[in-house]
Amino acid sequence: MLVRRTIKQRLIDWLFANPGRIIVLSFIFVILIGTILLSLPFATYKDVDFSIFDALFTSVSATCVTGLIVTDTATSFTLFGKIVIIILIQIGGLGLVTITSFALSVINKKVSFKTRQIALETAGAFTFTETNTLLKFIIGITFIFEFLGAIILSIEYVPVFGLMEGVGKATFQSISAYCNAGFDLMGDTTFGPYSSLTGLATNHTVLFTTSLLIVFGGLGFVVWVDLFKFRQRRRLLLHTKVTLLFTVMLLLIGMIMVLVFEWNNPNTIGQETFSFSDKIVNAFMQSVTYRTAGFNSLDLASLTDASKATGIVLMFIGAGSGSTGGGVKITTIAIILYTVISEIKGSSDTIIYKNIVPNNIVRRAVAILFVGITTVATFSIAVAMFEYEKIMQGAFSFVDIVFEMASAFATVGLSSIGTGNLCVFSKLFIIVAMYLGRVGPIALLLSFVMKDKNKTAKVYPEGQIHIG
């Protein structure tokens, strides 16, 4: 009995020794539960060929708020299956620890220091003093945005689909959009399976509302807290300034690139039925959805290679830190860029808005960027090897493969080839990429590295090496 307790205690100590460890394992736990629930016979319609591997893929995609699918959500899943998916999306977007911590605070249960630390890690907060406020704010602002989005979308959907179906589709899409998931229920309409929002390309209200929900969810919870406190403090955190600046810049750049590359494309925004405003709204929607959303109002397979390349870059960058979105994050790219600028100016420090960025953060940004590029490149080559025959037959190109993998790693959910058309081994790489993209490859590695606190740090001599 004593041995059992000792092993149990060691396990608990190991789990709580690193906050990231709980986050990493909590996603695995939710994914497994989701897989089991989606594998149940009443989760899908009887005529749907849906294996346990498909259930695993769908569970990972939903929990990691990606949106890549192997079967159409609307036509394959029953009401039970759809409810499971949207719950997985909500948990994946907010984080299991965040939801649990909030629930404990509501029922007046004491939230331990370690739990607070984990919740902070999930939400991206900076100090422990803001934990309780932040948790309540996260849940509150999530509910407000999703509720308002559902109302606006319901106004558009109810006249078309009826009261219950219209409200259901609107609510599902609102949650999915705010959590940057990309799942939708348009497949059982006249638009057909896998249609996403292509049948609503001229409905500006639906596209603009969905776009705003994606942007709001992708900013990050810390940014929203800071914005709401602006009237009191009359200043913004450096993190908020950088996130807002680069969000606007990337959205504008993405929209301009889509307009330039797709203006005369008859299969996208260049079609005759599109007015000038239709082109602008759809280009904006496409730029937004590249930022880890997964919805599309344009046929992705018909995009030019230049647009796909633009999408790969934007997807890889992703959303804001501590948000529902993925990617290497805006602030990571911002730090790298400002480091380059500072080096060109001859400064030994990375300076942003007259603030010095600590060297450990700069090193972490470089590591995240390198690991991200390496992961996408390696996985893309691996998938290309498995799909070599299809590439040679002209079914899709290597650019489409990179597009797919960048979409998976950045938890976007856009596909120009149809994920269901890939072989099992390719899907396995996509599953791993989605999980790595959600928890972060660096965070995953660090969570399982035990640091010996009693170990004296080694001192090494300084060496010289030429670069450039």
* Confidence at residue 348, expressed as pLDDT on a 0 to 100 scale: 84
383 vs 345, higher pLDDT: 383
* Confidence at residue 104, expressed as pLDDT on a 0 to 100 scale: 46
Helices and strands per DSSP (H, E), number in the chain: 21, 2
108 vs 342, higher pLDDT: 342
**Predicted confidence band of residue 138 (pLDDT cuts 50, 70, 90):** confident
* Confidence at residue 17, expressed as pLDDT on a 0 to 100 scale: 58
* Confidence at residue 113, expressed as pLDDT on a 0 to 100 scale: 47
* Confidence at residue 120, expressed as pLDDT on a 0 to 100 scale: 52
Chain segment 171-189, per-residue pLDDT in tens: 999 999 999 998 999 998 8
| CA 2 distance to own-chain centroid | 44
Chain segment 208-231, per-residue pLDDT in tens: 999 999 999 988 888 888 888 887
b (16+ CB within 10 A) / e for 158-188: beebeeeebbbbbbbbbbbbbbbbbbbbbbb
Q: Supply the DSSP string of 140-185, one letter for each residue.
A: HHHHHHHHHHHHHHHHHHHHHH-HHHHHHHHHHHHHHHHTT----S
**Predicted confidence band of residue 128 (pLDDT cuts 50, 70, 90):** very low
**Mean pLDDT to the nearest integer, 131-155:** 86
Chain segment 91-113, per-residue pLDDT in tens: 988 875 565 555 545 444 555 54
**Mean pLDDT to the nearest integer, 395-415:** 93
Measured in degrees and rounded to the nearest 5, phi and psi for residue 71 equal: -150, 150
Chain segment 443-459, per-residue pLDDT in tens: 666 555 555 455 555 67
* Confidence at residue 223, expressed as pLDDT on a 0 to 100 scale: 87
Chain segment 16-71, per-residue pLDDT in tens: 556 667 777 888 889 999 999 999 999 999 889 999 999 999 999 999 999 999 99
* Confidence at residue 451, expressed as pLDDT on a 0 to 100 scale: 54
Lowest mean pLDDT among 22-36, 269-283, 413-427: 22-36
- Whether 434 shows a pLDDT value over 80: the answer reads yes
Other CB atoms within 10 A of residue 89 CB: 28
